[in-house]
Structure 1
């Protein structure tokens, strides 16, 4: 691996891509990502379509789950693997289905450079016309509850295009069972805020490729699981009405054109 491929500053970042049956898109996604991040870790989550073999010849680190463990477990494995290198300051995550445009990686990195103690999130919901209506409604529903429980406004709680500070990953303790595959990315926003790591949105494009496999996210089932997790956290905090007030009245962090500032 050539740590100077994308410049010295980005050498302190790693990228984790969980992949389950992504043979149609994964090589293009990874190849493009390597232009911007020197260290790419792909976690093949028990794929049966040859996802791993599609990556032959690329300068990456490939981890494989023998059976499908779910997105949360794959993300966690990749994050922990990345942080074995103590020089890593933060870890980026993105999906392998091509929904996230690797060309926008520098915009998220720019925000992370300037605000290293925030969770940088690639926000898609601004472009409502490009998002399937059922998914848009489900995401907005999840946003309300997660913003309440975390005490901050959140633009896109379900985007997997993120950068997590290394200190957060080293400190947080979350369940990563298969049943919580799509709960992890919501819960870490809540726990991160409690630890002082707030969310910063960076608006990104919304891409739905014709050749990508159907989404593993189930709008009804997974949103119900997320809501149950959030409800429990609110109950244990006496409904946390202060958090509701903050989520509705605070002006959010912003990062426009990679120029980030606290508003």
Structure 2
């Protein structure tokens, strides 16, 4: 039987962990549980000690993604379970996700419904991310940004060098699995209201959410992003040329500029495609 390692990134989540860890040990009594303390200043370590759970502390805050990477390296299990340490995810759901994994998949993601989204703004953003990722990969992506997922350890560790230290590790890992032709499945879950205050700041992290849109494409196939952009510039150049030729009988600099931009964007896409291919080249 495969050993299961449950990894919970946590930063000042003592209150949530005090409720979550007893439920987790009851639901998965034989699992290895690792709380990856991201430089907490509260009683996170004491709560873990009281629950008999191993706590691996960082000397300072490095980010949610950094905690995930350190947890994946420290885990000894063949199957890795990633959960948020804020109490949103139900430990009972772990069994369903693992059962789905054993059907032949390499990663199973807990897909939240609309009622589980943290606000309308986040729900709309996640819906757009799911739609864009589905269009680019050609597979149905039910929840691109869910932090509740189960994966095979050896497959996940292949992409540790790609994972950012911030909050977008779910996006990166999902797109990396699709790119590498590893099977990804989605299992419906209900996410509860988190305990305590979220560490995500809408204004500060707004740019991060916009960058996720570009990361979705560049992690899978950059040409699917750059070719449409190149086509837009080319068509704008043609429209501008048609207008100026009809009204002024000449070719303007703006049309030439648009066509030049179309060529440049397309070439950048080709180069990005080659870089992406090298990024996923497996080194033994």
**TM norm structure 1:** 0.76
Match of 2:261 in 1: none
1:212 aligns to 2:203 (yes or no):
no
* Distance 1:202-1:220 versus aligned 2 partners, 3 A rule: same
Distance change >3 Å, CA 137–CA 63, structure 1 → 2? same
Tell me how far 1:220 sits from its aligned partner: 2.5
What residue number does 1:120 align with?
108
1:169 paired to 2:152:
no
Q: Is the 8 A contact 2:176 2:220 kept in 1?
A: no
Give the structure with higher Rg (CA): 2
Q: 1:99-178 alignment to 2 at 5 Å?
A: 99-115=88-104, 117-125=105-113, 127-128=114-115, 131-178=118-165
* Number of matched pairs: 223
In structure 2, runs of 5+ residues without a counterpart are: 228-284
**Residue 224, structure 1, aligned to residue 210, structure 2:** yes
Q: Which runs of 4+ in 1 moved over 4 A?
A: none
Aligned to 1:255: none
1:120-171 deviation line (CA, Å, top 9, x unaligned): 111112x437652111111112212333343311111111110011231232
SS in 2 for 1:144: helix
By relative contact order (CA 8 Å, sep 6+), the higher-ranking structure is: 1
CA root-mean-square deviation: 2.3
Secondary structure of the corresponding residue to residue 35 of structure 1: helix
Structure 1: runs of 5 or more not aligned: 1-8, 242-263
2:96 partner SS = helix
Deviation per CA, 1:84-130: give whole Å up to 9, x if none: x3xx3220000011111112221112112223x331111112x4376
Match of 1:197 among 169, 174, 182: 182
Q: Deviations over 1:209-231 (max 9, x none)?
A: 4x422242646333112123224
Q: Deviations over 1:46-103 (max 9, x none)?
A: 0112222222232322111111100111001101111xx3xx3220000011111112
The structure carrying a bigger helix percent of its residues is 2
Structure 2 CA distance for partners of 1:226 and 1:174, relative to 1, 3 Å: farther
Q: Normalising to structure 2: TM-score of the pair?
A: 0.71
Corresponding residue number in structure 2 for 1:23:
14
